[in-house]
Homo-oligomer: A and B are copies of this chain.
Amino acid sequence: MTEMTETTPGWLSREELESTRARMPILYVDAVPVRVDDTGMVTRVGLLLRIGSDGTVSRALVSGRVLHYERVRDALLRHLEKDLGPVALPRIPASPQPFTVAEYFPTAGVTPYHDPRQHAVSLAYVVPVAGDCRPRQDALDLVWFTPEEAASPMVLGEMSGGQDVLLKQALAHVGRLP
């Protein structure tokens, strides 16, 4: 999961966020961007290429915090637009039902998901995107993979924090896990 510290006035300062992270589960959303054909079948999965604070390269899903007073669907749209650009045209699901809930623990092994910074609970959605994707901010690139490529050990091995498991769950949910 990416560093989501927000600096807009009224949101949490870095100190407040750190303090809260030490005491509460933090609500996140994870989005798996996909391309679909006319019948809704997933044909491609989009993964971000990121460079972490420690210099490591990794592939990642679109992920981020839900803010105070923000609806989950607004958080989804905000993070998708931030990571994929303003003309990605994401189709946020009509139903709030996530395909799974990913529980990231600071201690590895409690669940398949791990975030050393915090206990984050993430609502995970598959989101078809119809427009042009232009990664920005800390995302270096967005690559579209076939479901078979996305589920390959090479690509999964470049994901961290258990997002490889989450990606496989998304592929299973849309019936495209090889």
Give, as a whole number of angstroms, the nearest-CB distance from A67 to chain B: 7
For A, the interface residue count at a CB cutoff of 8 angstroms equals 58
**Is A135's beta carbon under 8 Å from chain B?**
no
Q: Out of B20, B38, B74, name the residue touching A20 (CB < 8 Å).
A: B20
Chain B residue, CB-CB nearest to A89? B38
Q: Which of A159-174 contact B (CB under 8 A)?
A: 165, 168-169, 172-174
Q: Which chain B residues border A38 with CB–CB below 8 Å? A: 77, 92
Q: Which chain B residues border A106 with CB–CB below 8 Å? A: 69
Chain B residue, CB-CB nearest to A66? B25
Chain B residue, CB-CB nearest to A128? B94
Q: Which chain B residues border A173 with CB–CB below 8 Å? A: 95, 97, 100, 169, 172-173
A35 to B37, CA, bound (A): 20
Q: If A16-B23, A25-B27, A172-B177 touch, does A74 touch B126 (CB 8 Å cutoff)?
A: no
Give, as a whole number of angstroms, the nearest-CB distance from A169 to chain B: 4
Q: Which of A40-92 contact B (CB under 8 A)?
A: 40-42, 66-74, 76-77, 91-92
A residues neighboring B (CB under 8 Å): 12, 16, 20, 22-27, 34, 36, 38-42, 66-74, 76-77, 91-101, 103, 105-106, 110-112, 119, 121, 123, 126, 128, 165, 168-169, 172-175, 177-178
**24 A-B pairs (CB sep. < 8 Å):** A20-B24, A22-B68, A24-B26, A25-B66, A27-B27, A34-B94, A38-B92, A40-B92, A40-B93, A40-B94, A66-B121, A69-B119, A72-B101, A91-B91, A94-B126, A94-B174, A95-B126, A96-B174, A97-B100, A100-B172, A100-B175, A101-B123, A112-B175, A169-B173
